[in-house]
Amino acid sequence: MNALVINCSPVRDGATAEIVKIVSKCLGARYEVSSICIDDFDIKFCRGCRVCHKTAKCVQSDDVGKIIDCLDRADVIVAVSPSYWADIPGQFKAFIDRCTPWCNTHEPHARLRSGKKGYVIALRTGPSMRECQRIFESIEHFYGHMEIECCGRLGLCSVECKEDLAGRREEIEEMCGGI
């Protein structure tokens, strides 16, 4: 089975990336794991032209299809997202907006292979879980429209840099044990 761990942050070496490494290592014993960073891809903004509502294809040419291929190969998807102004980073939101051709809210629509399980890890610098909740809602809403079953979530507060994860590794590993 294949697992995909997504760094939803544009920062390739921060706390989010460190969580991606921890999750990838934990899942590596049971899955063939790949990880991606959203910022490694060229993602254009949705134009709102709605052509994809009729054709199930976007008129734009960029790397969205590469990310979709990664999602399609995966049986398990773990999205790891920091809080940017109490929600997911703009780069990941731009990707979600471009997934309309695969969204189940209209016909025709393209489809990912069925049976996928999705997990979310949200982190933020402040002490309140409220912002993590918004991240959960955004990503789980995306999963729902992509027909990825939401199966688990973990919120990590008071994480500003990867050094702040030293005492949190056990929480992350425990979540991974349930994947």
Domain 2-17+25-177 is found in CATH 3.50.50.60: no
Residue 24 has a pLDDT of 98
pLDDT tens digits, one per residue of 96-133: 999 999 999 888 999 999 999 999 999 999 998 998 99
Q: Would residue 164 be called left, alpha or beta, if left means φ above 0 and alpha means ψ between -120 and 50 degrees?
A: alpha
**In contact, 121 and 175? CB cutoff 8 Å:** yes
| pTM of the predicted model as reported, rounded to 2 decimal places | 0.96
Q: Where are the domains of the chain?
A: 2-17+25-177
User: Which residue matches tokens 């190969």?
Assistant: 73
Instruction: Answer yes or no: is pLDDT of 22 > 90.
Output: yes
Question: Span 25-32, mean pLDDT?
Answer: 97
Residue 106 has a pLDDT of 85
pLDDT tens digits, one per residue of 54-80: 999 999 999 999 999 999 999 999 999
Question: Span 86-93, mean pLDDT?
Answer: 96
Identity of residue 28: G
For residues 62 and 103, what is the distance between their CA atoms, to the nearest angstrom? 18
